[in-house]
Structure 1
Amino acid sequence: MNMDARIQQSVVANLRNRPAPVEVGPFVIGTDPTTSSPHINYATPRPGAAVTVGDVAALVTAFRAAGRTPRLEYVTSCAPGLEALLTGAGFVVESRHTYLVCAPGTLRTPQALDHIRLYEPATDPERAGLIGAQHEAFGGNPVASEADVARLRRQQGAGGVAVMAVTDDGTCAGGGGAAPPAGGVSEVAGIAVRTRYRRQGLAGAITADVTRRLFDIGVEVAWLEASGEDSWRVYERAGYRPAGRRLYIGSD
């Protein structure tokens, strides 16, 4: 299986791990009744599966039945004709991203940072602290809901990784995590640093620590996406390299 197919299959596995996944023809919709976020409730095709106009119509119907907005994320080479079918059905491209991958032999671990400890949250208050820091870093409400905490606890219980960066005074400065591995592959996501702790190498340290923890449990390939040039440079310094393209596309 080539890299694109491995990454796409890991997305399929991630969505099947949602609390209420729905399989519709060649698609898997990962739905979570506790949130309407389109970044959690979305669909993806199984790699290499044939897709028809009827399949797309059935997918939209399934989204409507679940009370969610139709949306997909996928590696484009694994479904080369899908974009045309989706745009023909009224979907609009949100963005296109290059994904990056890292293997054990390319991971680079930066020097430890003074006054910062990196560790996995083991209690719900710690999980809430991590999620609050991520929300604030991404411009959202810095208060974690019970559903947010339960979602992270469930991810960790399924084999996923979570890392929080805590200062000497007990403040969570940022953190990140990774999905439960599937087929030796895991997605790293949510790398976040609160504004006042940026430009100190913390994002790179968190990325490397999450990735190392994955490799320590036998993961062969870690992958992620960069949101801009700054994060791209951070990930490349940690040993990540560009590998393929993904599409984000949705409908009202």
Structure 2
Amino acid sequence: MLSETIRALQSYIRLTAAKFRETERIGPFLATYYLESSSPFLNYAIPDDGAVPAKDDVAALTEAFRKRGLVPRLEFLTEAVPAAEAVLVECGYTLERRVPLMICSPGQVVGQPEPAGISLVTPKTEGELRQMIRAQNVAFGEDDPDLHLDPSPDQLSGETLSVMAVAETGEVVGGGVATAILDGATEIAGIGVVEGYRSRGIAAAMTEYLTREAHARGGRSVFLTPGAGQAERVYGRVGFETAAECVHLSVV
């Protein structure tokens, strides 16, 4: 039986993926399209809980993405849709990666040392948010970090929590967000630090900052999916524990 935690998290992921995106219902899939970018990380589908997709459904989903010039791609919690991966692989999809989904509940967060020479600041103006987003773009290796700097409506309203790391020089060297809380759940995302400032505890400090703020606002299940390298260990130090697995699949 699907646990309530997994059900709630997959529901949250599905609802927030559709926010500010165009969506299309294709069989048991919700396809989401981010009109401002063709990045595969912003355009993907999520299957319904417990779905066992038919091959015709998968073919229709693949064609819908290709008609838009997008890479057909899916992201979902394996526990929520245990039969989907095998069908997708049989239809030609390949596994990109499996990533743990980690949760930090109230009372679990662990304090982190304050990074030397770094201030953690909540950006309050559009200009400050654009500086934060640019630092994130640099951290994630975007070809042109000055593209797509406009904050989302949720960031501008403060519904999405944001934090930026500011060096003594005034340079913004990192940033991250906690998405709008829905039914007690929120996702920590976009934690990035520019190369010259890494390995100083900035990512862990920003994660703690956002997690505490989210808990204070009523977030019961603060979750994230760590990237490659040492990210999982870093988030573990803050108090996050693995609760589920997220799978990413795509087809060329």
Q: TM-score, normalised by structure 2?
A: 0.90
**CA deviation string 1:21-76 (max 9, x = no partner):** 22223221221111000001111112234432232222223223433221001101
Q: What per-residue deviation string (whole Å, max 9, x for no partner) do you get for residues 193-244 of structure 1? A: 1222222211110011111221122111111122235211210111101111
Question: Matched residue of 1:203: which SS?
Answer: helix
Q: Give the 3-state SS of the residue equivalent to 1:38 in structure 2.
A: coil
Count of residue pairs brought into register by the alignment: 249
Match of 2:79 in 1: 77
Report what 1:154 is aligned to: 153
Distance 1:141 1:130, change over 3 A: farther
Contact 1:134 1:142 in 2 (8 A): no
Letter of the structure 1 residue corresponding to residue 222 of structure 2 = A
Deviation at 1:93, TM superposition (A): 0.9
Q: 2:65 aligns with which of 63, 66, 81?
A: 63
> Residue 98 of structure 1 aligns to a residue in which SS?
strand
Structure 2 CA distance for partners of 1:29 and 1:181, relative to 1, 3 Å: farther
Q: Tell me the equivalent position of 1:89.
A: 91
Q: Following superposition of structure 1 onto structure 2, how do residues 91-170 of structure 1 map, counting pairs within 5 Å?
A: 91-141=93-143, 143-145=145-147, 148-150=148-150, 152-156=151-155, 157=157, 159-170=159-170
Contact 2:51/2:83 (8 A) holds in 1: no
1:172 aligns with 2:172: yes
Q: After TM superposition, where is structure 1 displaced by more than 4 Å over at least 4 residues in a row?
A: none
Percentage of identical aligned residues:
32
1:99/1:243 contact within 8 Å kept? yes
CA distance in structure 2 between the partners assigned to 1:158 and 1:85 by the alignment: 41
**Structure 2 SS opposite 1:12:** helix
Secondary structure at the aligned position of 1:101 is classed as: strand
Counterpart of 1:228 in structure 2 is: 228
Correspondence for 1:217:
217
SS at match of 2:109: coil
- The separation in 2 between residues aligned to 1:15 and 1:122, in whole angstroms, is 24
Q: 1:10 aligns with which of 9, 12, 19?
A: 12
Q: How far does residue 113 in structure 1 lie from its aligned partner after superposition?
A: 3.4
- SS of match in other structure, 1:15: helix
| Structure 1 match to 2:195 | 195
Match of 2:103, SS?
strand
CA distance in 2, matches of 1:141, 1:155: 26
1:22 aligned to which of 1, 24, 28: 24
Matched, 1:239 2:239: yes
Q: Is the 8 A contact 1:23 1:29 kept in 2?
A: yes
Query: In the aligned structure 2, how far is the partner of 1:212 from the partner of 1:72?
Result: 31
Deviation at 1:122, TM superposition (A): 2.4
Q: Is the 8 A contact 1:13 1:182 kept in 2?
A: no
Report the RMSD for the aligned CA atoms in angstroms.
1.9
Question: For 1:163-203, what per-residue CA distance to the aligned partner results, in whole angstroms no more than 9, with x for missing partners?
Answer: 11112221111111122222221221111112222222111
Unaligned segments of structure 1, at least 5 residues: none
Matched-pair contact (CA < 8 Å) for 1:15–1:28: no
In the aligned structure 2, how far is the partner of 1:232 from the partner of 1:153? 27
Q: Cα distance, 1:108 vs. partner?
A: 1.5
Unaligned residue ranges in structure 2 (runs of 5+): none
Go from structure 1 to structure 2 and tell me whether the alpha carbon gap of 1:6 and 1:216 turns closer, same or farther (over 3 Å shift). same
Greater CA drift, 118-127 or 84-93 = 118-127
Alpha carbons 1:60, 1:70 under 8 Å: kept: yes
Rounded to whole Å, the distance in 1 between the matches of 2:76 and 2:21 is 20
Cα separation, 2, equivalents of 1:32 and 1:140: 17
